[in-house]
Amino acid sequence: MRTSIVTLLLIAIAGIIMFNFLSKNQNGMDLTTTEFKEKIKSQPGKVIDVRTIDEYNQGHLKITDDQHDWMNGEFQDAVENLDKDNTYYLYCRTGNRSGQAAKMMKSEGFENVYNIGGFEDLANAGFETEK
């Protein structure tokens, strides 16, 4: 009896993990570094770093157009002045904050907004960085 409960729990956990893994980009906003390399060529746009100013000053993508901190509300204020017809590529440290920011922009009526993930992954993929 106890073994079957443990087995059922493990199957449920594995199912949840697989669901999260397989449904990661169903929203159409999350791009891999490879997808971003191709997308920015065909659809240029503004690249926004949503990390804190301290994180930004430690290093950021050279192609970054703006830095608006998601954590302190600066990003939310800046969105009010952005053109909804433009294309936006957002990144942070891991892709979490930029994912939240992209979802918020989508809910505000922005059509072309993408979460391009984490700074280190982008740097490791060959995107030029600077301090």
Q: What is the pLDDT of residue 28?
A: 76
pLDDT per residue as tens digits for the range 17-44: 544 444 444 467 999 999 999 999 999 9
Edge-to-edge strand order for the sheet containing 112-118? 66-67, 46-49, 87-92, 112-118
pLDDT per residue as tens digits for the range 83-118: 999 999 999 999 999 999 999 999 999 999 999 999
Domain shared by 92 and 115, yes or no: yes
Domain shared by 16 and 36, yes or no: no
Prediction pTM value: 0.80
**Phi, psi torsion values for 87, nearest 5 degrees:** -105, 140
Structural domain including 10 reads: 1-26
Domain shared by 20 and 60, yes or no: no
Q: What is the pLDDT of residue 22?
A: 44
Report how many domains make up the chain.
2
Domain shared by 84 and 108, yes or no: yes
pLDDT per residue as tens digits for the range 54-94: 999 999 999 999 999 999 999 999 999 999 999 999 999 99
Domain shared by 72 and 12, yes or no: no
Domain shared by 45 and 94, yes or no: yes
Q: What is the pLDDT of residue 49?
A: 98
